């Protein structure tokens, strides 16, 4: 059982090292608090070589998701120290793994020697998780229509202020399929996440939890947004990740008419992010074609 005595914060030298490595990363990552305010756990299995886990209170068992970056640094006695910074299966900053060349403990905390070699920054495409759906490999794509672009822009801008129900993504029968595709993309690209972890299958909550994002979006595709017999659209809420929040702040700092005017630079950036993740926007080839029809009475 974890206690408060097991938690601490990064030292100044460790914080400087972690923030430097994160500044080099290409892939998005998530965290609930600023790095300096995030509690950490010393991983005792490394025998004092400096490995730590970034603590997060969550309702799932955390595990390795993917590596963000690897690099070598040094202890004060000149010994080489191999580092790897990674995220968990849901994209949250997870562990900093550290191993000295001789597997003996560090003399001083990581970062006391601020020298780095053999830096290997992982790219988005090489670490993209495999999806069960079929995504076209070609880079040609049809850009968002003006109507879709404005609706996507409004939804993401509103997410910057508060969590929103999925029922507010788009509206109308003709946008059902586009809503599912947008939800899938902004989650897979690290722009947004679910307020409640609906992707952690729980036997006690079988009706509101799912195996993964593909399973969840499949259920969205077979459930009309206005079908009150299901709560999946109304009760599930999304929030922006720090990556998504920073994107909105960057592109809308001096752009006031987000509700009726397309921010072309923002939409182009959004489309580029989709392409980088192998999920180019294409309204003619939906990732999740809607199944069946539903007549609202």
- Within a domain: residue 29? yes
Residues 73 and 29 in one domain: yes
Q: Is the pLDDT of residue 1 over 70?
A: no
Q: What's the Cα-to-Cα distance from 77 to each of 48, 80, 114, rounded to whole Å?
A: 15, 9, 13
CB-CB contact of 81 with 72 (8 Å): yes
- Within a domain: residue 287? no
pLDDT in tens, 190-245: 899 988 778 876 666 556 678 888 888 888 888 888 776 778 888 889 998 888 88
- Within a domain: residue 223? yes
Phi, psi of 174 (to 5 degrees): -75, -5
Region 41-67 average pLDDT = 85
pLDDT of the residue at 198: 80
Q: Is the pLDDT of residue 91 over 70?
A: yes
Residues 11 and 80 in one domain: yes
pLDDT of the residue at 129: 47
- pLDDT range class, residue 81, cuts 50, 70, 90: very high
Domain that holds residue 156: 146-276
Total of domains in the chain: 2
- Within a domain: residue 137? no
For tokens 């020697």, what's the residue? 113
Tell me if residue 210 falls in helix, strand or coil. coil
Residues 25 and 95 in one domain: yes
Q: Is the pLDDT of residue 135 over 50?
A: no
Region 178-190 average pLDDT = 92
- Within a domain: residue 290? no
Residues 49 and 87 in one domain: yes
- Within a domain: residue 83? yes
pLDDT in tens, 141-167: 457 889 999 999 999 999 988 888 888
pLDDT of the residue at 208: 66
Region 264-274 average pLDDT = 91
User: What is the percentage of the chain residues whose pLDDT exceeds 90?
Assistant: 38
Final residue belonging to a domain, choices 78, 99, 127: 127
Q: Is the pLDDT of residue 25 over 60?
A: yes
Residues 154 and 237 in one domain: yes
pLDDT of the residue at 207: 64
Spell out the residues 6+ positions from residue 194 whose beta carbon is closer than 8 angstroms to its own.
Answer: 187, 236, 237, 238, 239
Residues 10 and 121 in one domain: yes
- Within a domain: residue 133? no
Q: Which pTM value belongs to this model?
A: 0.54
Residues 97 and 54 in one domain: yes
Sign of CA dihedral 260, 161, 278, 288: negative
Tell me if residue 165 falls in helix, strand or coil. strand
For tokens 């097991």, what's the residue? 6
Residues 199 and 106 in one domain: no
pLDDT of the residue at 61: 83
Final residue belonging to a domain, choices 127, 155, 174: 127
CB-CB contact of 61 with 202 (8 Å): no
pLDDT of the residue at 15: 95
Beta strand 40-42 with 52-54 is antiparallel
Residues 167 and 224 in one domain: yes
- Within a domain: residue 139? no
Q: Which long-range contacts (CB under 8 A, 24 or more apart) does 205-210 make?
A: 208/232, 208/235, 208/236
Tell me if residue 52 falls in helix, strand or coil. strand
Q: Is the pLDDT of residue 139 over 70?
A: no
Residues 9 and 120 in one domain: yes
Q: Is the pLDDT of residue 3 over 90?
A: no
pLDDT of the residue at 122: 84
Higher pLDDT among residues 281 and 204, named by residue: 281
Cβ neighbour number for residue 291 with a 10 Å cutoff: 10
Residues 108 and 152 in one domain: no
- pLDDT range class, residue 114, cuts 50, 70, 90: very high
Residues 102 and 175 in one domain: no
pLDDT of the residue at 187: 92
pLDDT of the residue at 13: 95
């Amino acid at each position: 059982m974890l206690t408060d005595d097991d938690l601490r914060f990064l030292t100044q030298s460790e914080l400087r090292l972690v923030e430097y490595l994160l500044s080099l990363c290409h892939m998005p990552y998530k965290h609930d608090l600023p790095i300096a305010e995030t509690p950490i756990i010393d991983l005792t299995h490394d025998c004092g070589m400096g490995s730590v886990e970034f603590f997060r209170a969550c309702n799932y068992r955390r595990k390795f998701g993917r590596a963000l970056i690897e690099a070598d640094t040094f202890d004060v006695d000149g010994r080489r120290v191999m580092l790897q910074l990674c995220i968990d299966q849901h994209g949250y900053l997870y562990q900093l793994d550290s191993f000295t060349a001789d597997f003996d403990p560090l003399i001083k905390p990581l970062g006391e020697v601020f020298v780095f070699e053999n830096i290997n920054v992982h790219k988005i495409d090489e670490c993209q998780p495999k999806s069960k759906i079929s995504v076209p490999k070609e880079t040609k794509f049809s850009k968002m229509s003006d109507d879709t672009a404005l609706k996507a822009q409004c939804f993401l801008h509103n997410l910057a202020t508060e969590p929103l129900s999925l029922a507010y993504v788009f509206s109308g029968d003709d946008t059902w399929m586009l809503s599912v595709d947008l939800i899938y993309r902004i989650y897979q690209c690290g722009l947004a996440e679910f307020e409640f972890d609906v992707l952690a299958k729980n036997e006690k909550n079988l009706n509101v939890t799912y195996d993964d994002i593909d399973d969840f979006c499949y259920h969205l595709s077979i459930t009309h947004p206005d079908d009150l017999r299901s709560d999946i659209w109304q009760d599930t809420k999304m929030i922006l990740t720090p990556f998504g929040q920073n994107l909105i702040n960057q592109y809308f700092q001096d752009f006031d008419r987000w509700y009726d005017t397309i921010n072309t630079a923002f939409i182009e950036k959004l489309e580029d992010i989709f392409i980088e993740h192998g999920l180019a926007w294409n309204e003619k080839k939906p990732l999740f074609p809607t199944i069946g029809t539903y007549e609202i009475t």
